[in-house]
Structure 1
Amino acid sequence: MSRKREHEAEKENSERWLLTYSDLITLLMIFFVVLYSMSKVDAAKFQAVAESLNKALSGGVPAKMEVSTSPSGPSLIQTGTPSSTTTVPGKDKDPSKTTDTDQAAANVGQGNTDAENMSIEAIKAKLDKFALDNGIQSKLISSMEERGLVVSIQETLLFGSGSADITNRAREILKSISTVLGSASNQIRVEGHTDNLPIQTAKFPSNWELSVIRSTNVVQILQSAGITPSRLSAAGYGEYRPIASNDTIAGQGRNRRIDLIILRSKYDVTEPTNQTAVSGSLAPVLIP
């Protein structure tokens, strides 16, 4: 009897490999199903997501991500032979076959063109001369940065202490500045900054509110002076973007400022447009 039981136990143990084998087959099937489902996406939605991510992360012109097409539908996996637009490493593209679209993309991608540099440099020269002629060169300072021309206007030239009301003299100065800025089509961002001295009033609970209201008031003056509203935007950074140490009175005075940023055209892709606002492309797109 004992020999029979040992034989049956040995037979049961010898068939346990079937369980492992069936589990493996099941996992492989699930794996390939997942791969197949990931290979099929909505081409339009994927392109929108790719462009949105590239705009947000790179700050440049969105790189076009191609989605290959197969008989079963769009796929992330390239199949078949490369398309005619595929660039082969080591081989130059035939200049005679360059399309208008390719040339436009190249021009926008370059962004920092010689013509634009000359235009921005001309604006800087005019503003510097205006500041010198009016004896405010220490309070209206322009500088070139990667993002464009930064025109920094000290608080005492525009507002009273702890106030966002623009003085009459400041209105005339801003109107004169707007005539210079109106010669270009670049986006203009108005940024408000404060020092680190706390403020807590019924109108301004913190430096955040003070910096934002100051920048929006400047925007309104520029708009009333003829700057196209779609070129303007306002931002407030409070005390958190200092350009000098707040440990000294002189440093605090430099930090209390309004910056007018004449952005280079390559940053236009990061600015919302009427088209994106209407189409709602700024909303997150979910891929089913």
Structure 2
Amino acid sequence: MKKRRLQDHEEHIDESWLIPYSDLLTLLLALFIVLFASGSINTEKLHQIMISMNTAINGKGSSMILEDTAGAGAIKPIDKSSSGQSKLEENQKLQSLMADIQTYIEARGLENVITIQDEPKGIKLSLKDVILFESGSDELKGNSLTILSDLLDLIKGVQNPISIEGHTDNVPYTGYRFQSNWELSAARALSVLYFFEGNGIPSGKLQFAGFGEQKPIVPNDSDEHRQVNRRVDIIILKTEQ
């Protein structure tokens, strides 16, 4: 009986080493998949990897170090200083533009109908509808063209994209041309966009939106407040957030 137990013990093979070995093979497979997907395999680096893997399998070591190189397929770190410099330069240009537009507004006595402010997404220039359109219309008035031309000459100094957004008050649209305030606000924004496009702003840098009565600045509880909410916003968007 003792001899039988000894034989049983000798026939039993310790297979615990298979678990880390299979894990190692899985990691190796994943590594080759990543290398293949990158489309560029550095043969010298691959040889070093194989040596390291062989060392780990044979128990002569337990670590493997991969050093990034400047060769093909290498991931280059982001130059944070360059990115920060670009953001700073853009901010300086937008602040200068904002100051020039504010000077123009004050020189023309337009403070009651045009406002400008710095927002997280860009420099927002708000024009009340009274200086752009007749009531219920999306056609630019004659004297509005001069103001838009002057503003456009200033805006052309920066290369940032421009978003043009139309807004109305909460009084339902009763005209025959549009079905709702949604359509009226969008049509007004589009009229300003077409003016910009026709005067030198590339179409690829322009976008528009109509918000109807959905984004009031103040409650629509008086004629004065409703006039404030009827506006077109011209936003010179920041590209470096």
- 2:17 is aligned to none
2:230 aligned with 1:256, yes or no?
yes
Match of 2:33 in 1: 70
Q: Aligned residue for 1:246?
A: 220
Q: CA deviation at 1:70?
A: 2.4
Query: 1:118 — aligned with what?
Result: 92
Q: Distance in 1 between matches of 2:202 and 2:35?
A: 49
Corresponding residue of 1:127:
101
What is aligned with 2:151? Answer: 177
Matched, 1:160 2:134: yes
Question: Between Structure 1 and Structure 2, whose CA radius of gyration is higher?
Answer: 2
- The total of aligned residue pairs comes to 185
RMSD: 3.0
CA distance, structure 2, for counterparts of residue 82 and residue 179 of structure 1: 58
Amino acid of the residue matched to residue 128 of structure 2? Q
Structure 2 CA distance for aligned equivalents of residues 154 and 212 of structure 1: 15
Q: Distance in 2 between matches of 1:240 and 1:215?
A: 15
Identity across matched positions, percent: 27
- Report the equivalent of 1:283: none
User: Is 1:266 matched up with 2:229?
Assistant: no
Matches within 5 A, 1:228-243: 228-243=202-217
Instruction: Flag the 1:71–1:239 CA change in 2: closer, same or farther, 3 A.
Output: closer
* Alpha-carbon distance in 1 for matches of 2:146, 2:186: 21
Please say if 1:202 is aligned against 2:176. yes
> Normalising by structure 2, what TM-score?
0.68
Task: Measure the CA separation in 2 of the matches of 1:240 and 1:82.
Answer: 57
**Secondary structure of the structure 2 residue equivalent to 1:217:** helix
Q: What corresponds to 1:25 in structure 2?
A: none
Normalised TM-score (structure 1): 0.58
Q: In the aligned structure 2, how far is the partner of 1:179 from the partner of 1:71? A: 51
**2:115 corresponds to:** 141
5+ unaligned residues in a row in structure 2: which ranges? 1-25, 38-52, 54-63, 69-73
Supply the AA of the counterpart residue of 1:144.
D
Shift of 1:68: 6.1
Q: Partners of 2:99 and 2:35 in 1: how far apart?
A: 60
The answer to whether the 8 A contact 1:192-1:257 is kept is yes
Shift in Å, 1:200: 3.5
Structure 2 Cα separation of the partners of residues 228 and 176 of structure 1: 18
Q: How does 1:13-32 map to 2 (within 5 A)?
A: none
Counterpart residue type for residue 149 of structure 1:
I
Change (3 A) 1:111 1:230: farther
Sort the Cα spacing of 1:162 and 1:82 in 2 relative to 1 into closer, same or farther, 3 A. Answer: farther
Q: How does 1:18-57 map to 2 (within 5 A)?
A: none
Could you say what secondary structure the match of 1:202 adopts?
A: coil
Q: Residue 114 of structure 1: CA displacement?
A: 1.9
